Structure 1
Amino acid sequence: MQDGEVLIPVNLPTEIQLRTRNIYDNKNMEGYECILMVDDEAQTVKATRQSTNSVACTLAKYTYKEPHQEMKVSLTVKWNHGNFIVDDIHEYTVTLYDCSINRRDCSECLSEISTRLPLNCGWCTGSRTCEVQNVCESEWWPHGTSNKCDFPTITDVFPISGPYEGRTQIIIMGTDLGKRTSDMRSVTVANTPCALQNERYEVSKRFECITGVSLPDESGAIVVQVQANHGAIQTATYRKQFIYRDPDVLDFTPKIGPKSGGTMVTIIGQYVNAGRNIKAYFGASSCHIDRTESVVNETHLLCTTTMTNATNSAKLSIYFDGAERLAPDYKTFVFTNDPEVSSFYPMTSMISGGRAINVTGQYFTSIQRPKMFVNAGKLFVSLSTVSTFVRLTYLQETNFLTKLKKRK
């Protein structure tokens, strides 16, 4: 029978007391054992009958492999040296926990958000780890201590620049950045207040804020003020400076592509990497920017056109965290009809390759990376399929020449 949650810290010898019924003092009912199923493996310890209504799992250390702060496991009692199971219709469970997992600093350890109070975790000052008191061999700080944790530190910031109009949502990461959002007293970016986004706060290690309006090329430190355990204000300053930029779009290439999309456009300008959320459009059609894949720096930005229904000229507009910038009016992108193949000649070739093929159709020059392949006697022109059998040697609007490679 289970009255409530049973909490057991790992690596600390613990005796588990179980409330039972009808455990009689009988020589035929000896050899009690407690079995905890942890990581699909049985951890077995001896147990003793203390009374008709009580069994104790003897003092033992428990552990688990998974990197979880807590792990709920089942506990079964057997007797006659494991031959019989004590009936348990309620499925007795035990919660094993490790204070040190994902609590890498004092603030994470002592926060009631990341560490619930019943666990009795605290900060061990000697080992600089989060532990239960009985494991700590030096001074130990519990929840609610007036002792101050280490000064906050900022380890990383993204992005490190943004448009001077503001509205850049900055990610700031570090250690000991408070135990709760109310500990975050102020954030300034180049002497401009940055509005904390409470819903984006992660105890001690990460938060986000939105920059305010500044001036072009204004730069300065990122400064965070945190209220410590004892009520005093502690300050962290990032090693790099944030710069407010005035992005400028000068040109882009190519300036033509099929309306089905897929054209990779290189955008040229100044400070075109400013901000976190950068969006590009040709007219009303988006041009997808993937900062994890593309080369993005102060002077170059890559985007890939998407499908549009229109075949017309479109102006380029880019939004840097909502701040709009336009390419010069005389520089436009032309969406053409998709390429069409009307005929090709000759229609046969030896398998060793080397045969030139003349392909006739429309809108071939709108293809950025033309490719062609032959499969089972059929010819295909593709915007993206890698050609393993055909090498393109000449391209114009209505005609191109190819040469077949030897088929492997």
Structure 2
Amino acid sequence: MHKENECSRKDRCPRSDELYRFATDIDRCVKVISHPDSIAVSAHSVPLLLEVNNVPDLSAGITCSFGQQAQVEGHVNGNRVMCLSPAGKEAPHIPEGQDWAGIELRLNSKETGQMVGSTEVKFYNCSTHRTCLSCVSSTFRCHWCKYRNLCTHDPSSCSFQEGRVNASEDCPQLLNSGQILIPAGVVRPITLRARNLPQPQSGQRGYECVVHMQGSSHRVTALRFNSTSVQCQNSSYMYEGVKISDLAVDLSIVWNGNFIIDNPEKIKVHLYKCSAQRDSCGMCLRADRKFQCGWCSGEGKCTLKQHCTPLPTPYAGRWLDLSARSVKCTNPRITEVTPIAGPLEGGTLVTIQGLNLGLSFSELEGNVEVAGVPCTPQEEGYITAEQIVCEMAEAPRESAPGPVMLCVGQCRPELRAQSSQMYSFVTPSMLALTPGRGPESGGTKVTVVGENLGAGSTVTVLFGNQTCDVFRRTMSEIVCFSAPSLTGAGPVQVSLTVDRAKVPGSLAFEYIEDPTVQRIDPLWSITSGHTTLTVTGTNLDVVQEPRVRVKYGGHESVNVCKVLNRTTISCFAPSLKAEYTTDQETIKHVEEFGFVFNNVQALLTYNNTSFVYYPNPYLEPLSLTGVLEQKPGAPIILKGRNLVPSASGGARLNYTVLIGDVPCSLTVSDTQLLCEPPNLTGQHKVLHSVCGSMPGLG
């Protein structure tokens, strides 16, 4: 009902039969449209024509109010109302980072004193835009004055008509000119493509390039060739960091001091140093060709060609780059070989790391020997100049240890390398494994003991036909985790291969039935946990590092267990973290309760129990001062709450109270501990413990 402006039954709406007095459909609700619907903040008393649809007769008069401001007279003409916008000082505050703020314009009936309808009017500020593209992309009527470098709602404020910009394609802006590469410290110009570059007017300064790098700015005079091209004049740019091979830095083109040309492509200048991280010929020639770096043999460093000083000796003065035919880096060097032992049967992948190890994979093919045995380079493991991975061929039975030897392309002295490390041929063997049994579900951590087990590159341990996942290995042992059995309970043969060598042995591992849990006592703890739980079941002695777990409030907590024998495990109940148990005084039923027993998934959630947590016991201070004066031999009463859990079966917590170092005899109820103290005199600290904690009381 528009008269009272509230939801109502028709029979309670006065004059409801009159047109637009009572609306029964959303399309019949009052709708207010403002022309215009946005105003510049600097514009004062702008007439707003408000078209009001689905409204009763407005001839009794309308007032207008913006936000919380006072009502002013509205001029009514049929279903149209004219209101004046507020003065500039009364315009709404525009938040930082935005160019507008909205305010509610309310139309109020003089007849009823109620609001008839409302609409939002936006107040905008073009001057918040600092660039042309941002300005003309505004949703409001903003114009860019390119000769004044400002955004305005009033195009007449621009210096002259050709300086007004209303469309993004007319904005002065830089265009993508391709990647700009500048060697650090080298004098170079920078030429940029652009669009609509203004010609500075009388009294205005020319163009400059501003390169922003490592916290400082470097200004260089620029030349505007025409509206589509500008060039930063010859200059050099240097950055700090001997290990930074290339650095992308921001570039701005400005004119008249601080008028910035838009850079929509975010064009940067890429500065680079040939010598950074390229202290060998191979590393130098690995650099991207776009940098035009090469190896200056005479100076032993990576440089641009113009920085390589020619020497009298033709070879020593050479500048090497990949554009030359058959270019090779001399003096290859091997720094590390892994592994340094493997089986005679071969198949070992030997990784050779070093310097100047070729510029292409083809240079190494057929040119690598390890301890006198051919080693075939593998293309997938090759890293230009840095790393070779090769596969060992089978070695003769009496092969002796020896170095890695290789040639890069040709076996000339300057293209040969020999390792200082020696590679040995060994025979791996298996002697024992522990433990010798584990659950069918797998997950048992098994240690295979033997000799030369760390040799080679790839080791496979099989329990029957199932892989034992290798965790670590040394020359004397392999540690792996058993997979689930495919054949149920029973012994399986253990086999071992090292690369192509099949290691002899007659070891066996026995899969036994998964452990089960039959009983848990007690079925409760307190919130802080650590209650001792006795777990009985079958085959519990094969469990390694057993743990008990609970889930409450979507969060999991675990605690440790200890295997006592085949049928018994002792666990400490997990604690419920305080941040997930906001109510500390209620009984909590956990969502999940179970055990982490190797890889036995069936016990992760133990469905045959409903484990509960009772509130932690609380003991009050002995006195306000913390000191209790007591006659020798008189009983000490420690008051508190939750001292006896309300679990069935007469549940009790184990309390210990010490007077000094001497325990006292206790009688426990839900609200107090009665301590029969030893016959002591003087002042003694009183300590109590429950479930492993021991806070002081006085």
Per the normalisation by structure 1, the TM-score is 0.80
- Report how far residue 14 of structure 1 moved: 2.9
> Given the superposition, is the C-alpha separation of residues 401 and 81 from structure 1 closer, same or farther in structure 2, using an over 3 Å criterion?
closer
Counterpart in 1 of 2:191? Answer: 17
Counterpart in 2 of 1:306? Answer: 483
Q: Secondary structure at the match of 1:162?
A: strand
Q: Secondary structure at the match of 2:287?
A: coil
Q: Secondary structure at the match of 1:289?
A: strand
One-letter amino acid of the structure 2 residue matched with residue 177 of structure 1: L
Q: Secondary structure at the match of 2:331?
A: coil
Counterpart in 2 of 1:172? Answer: 352
Deviations 1:233-274 (A, max 9, x none): 621111122122222222211101122322211111221112
One-letter amino acid of the structure 1 residue matched with residue 362 of structure 2: S
Indicate conservation of the 8 Å contact 2:223/2:232, yes or no: no
One-letter amino acid of the structure 1 residue matched with residue 254 of structure 2: K
Counterpart in 2 of 1:157? Answer: 337
What fraction of aligned residue pairs are identical, expressed as a percent? 28
- Report how far residue 107 of structure 1 moved: 2.1
- Report how far residue 299 of structure 1 moved: 2.1
The match for 1:325 among 503, 520, 525 is 503
Q: Whole-Å Cα distance in 2 between the matches of residues 274 and 367 of structure 1?
A: 31
> Given the superposition, is the C-alpha separation of residues 25 and 79 from structure 1 closer, same or farther in structure 2, using an over 3 Å criterion?
closer
Name stretches of at least 5 consecutive residues in structure 1 with no aligned partner: none
The match for 2:383 among 202, 205, 226 is 202
Q: CA RMSD in A?
A: 3.8
Q: Whole-Å Cα distance in 2 between the matches of residues 342 and 221 of structure 1?
A: 62
Indicate conservation of the 8 Å contact 2:336/2:421, yes or no: no
Deviations 1:22-77 (A, max 9, x none): 553643442422134557x6744222325336533241314376966445555331
One-letter amino acid of the structure 2 residue matched with residue 338 of structure 1: D
- Report how far residue 204 of structure 1 moved: 1.2
Counterpart in 2 of 1:7? Answer: 181
Counterpart in 1 of 2:280? Answer: 105
One-letter amino acid of the structure 2 residue matched with residue 172 of structure 1: I
> Does 1:184 find its partner at 2:364?
yes
One-letter amino acid of the structure 2 residue matched with residue 80 of structure 1: N
> Does 1:285 find its partner at 2:466?
yes
Q: Secondary structure at the match of 2:279?
A: coil
The match for 1:397 among 566, 569, 573 is 566
Counterpart in 2 of 1:227? Answer: 409
* Farther-moved stretch of structure 1 (396-405 vs 189-198): 396-405
One-letter amino acid of the structure 2 residue matched with residue 227 of structure 1: G
Q: Whole-Å Cα distance in 2 between the matches of residues 30 and 352 of structure 1?
A: 75
Q: Whole-Å Cα distance in 2 between the matches of residues 207 and 79 of structure 1?
A: 54
The match for 1:121 among 271, 277, 293 is 293
One-letter amino acid of the structure 1 residue matched with residue 481 of structure 2: T
One-letter amino acid of the structure 2 residue matched with residue 327 of structure 1: G
Q: Secondary structure at the match of 1:252?
A: strand
Counterpart in 1 of 2:172? Answer: none
Q: Whole-Å Cα distance in 2 between the matches of residues 356 and 19 of structure 1?
A: 78
> Does 1:49 find its partner at 2:229?
no
* Farther-moved stretch of structure 1 (75-84 vs 93-102): 93-102
Indicate conservation of the 8 Å contact 1:269/1:300, yes or no: yes
One-letter amino acid of the structure 2 residue matched with residue 33 of structure 1: E
The match for 2:535 among 359, 362, 366 is 359
Once the two structures are superposed, the pairs formed by residues 334-373 of structure 1 within 5 Å of their partners are 334-345=510-521, 358-371=534-547
The match for 1:406 among 680, 691, 696 is 691
Q: Whole-Å Cα distance in 1 between the matches of residues 391 and 419 of structure 2?
A: 17
> Given the superposition, is the C-alpha separation of residues 136 and 258 from structure 1 closer, same or farther in structure 2, using an over 3 Å criterion?
same
Q: Whole-Å Cα distance in 1 between the matches of residues 531 and 383 of structure 2?
A: 63
The match for 1:297 among 456, 469, 474 is 474
Deviations 1:187-217 (A, max 9, x none): 0011111111123211211111100011356
The match for 1:130 among 292, 296, 302 is 302
Counterpart in 1 of 2:417? Answer: 236
- Report how far residue 179 of structure 1 moved: 1.7
- Report how far residue 352 of structure 1 moved: 11
Counterpart in 1 of 2:236? Answer: 60
Once the two structures are superposed, the pairs formed by residues 204-219 of structure 1 within 5 Å of their partners are 204-216=385-397, 218=399, 219=401
Counterpart in 2 of 1:269? Answer: 450
> Given the superposition, is the C-alpha separation of residues 202 and 148 from structure 1 closer, same or farther in structure 2, using an over 3 Å criterion?
closer
Larger RCO: 1 or 2 (CA < 8 Å, sep 6+): 1
Q: Secondary structure at the match of 1:227?
A: coil
One-letter amino acid of the structure 1 residue matched with residue 568 of structure 2: N
Name stretches of at least 5 consecutive residues in structure 2 with no aligned partner: 1-174, 311-316, 574-689, 694-698
- Report how far residue 116 of structure 1 moved: 3.4
Q: Secondary structure at the match of 2:489?
A: coil
Q: Whole-Å Cα distance in 1 between the matches of residues 419 and 325 of structure 2?
A: 28
> Given the superposition, is the C-alpha separation of residues 320 and 335 from structure 1 closer, same or farther in structure 2, using an over 3 Å criterion?
same
Once the two structures are superposed, the pairs formed by residues 90-101 of structure 1 within 5 Å of their partners are 92-101=267-276
Indicate conservation of the 8 Å contact 2:513/2:539, yes or no: yes
Q: Whole-Å Cα distance in 2 between the matches of residues 70 and 351 of structure 1?
A: 57
> Given the superposition, is the C-alpha separation of residues 64 and 116 from structure 1 closer, same or farther in structure 2, using an over 3 Å criterion?
same
Q: Whole-Å Cα distance in 1 between the matches of residues 526 and 254 of structure 2?
A: 78
One-letter amino acid of the structure 1 residue matched with residue 499 of structure 2: D
Indicate conservation of the 8 Å contact 1:153/1:236, yes or no: yes
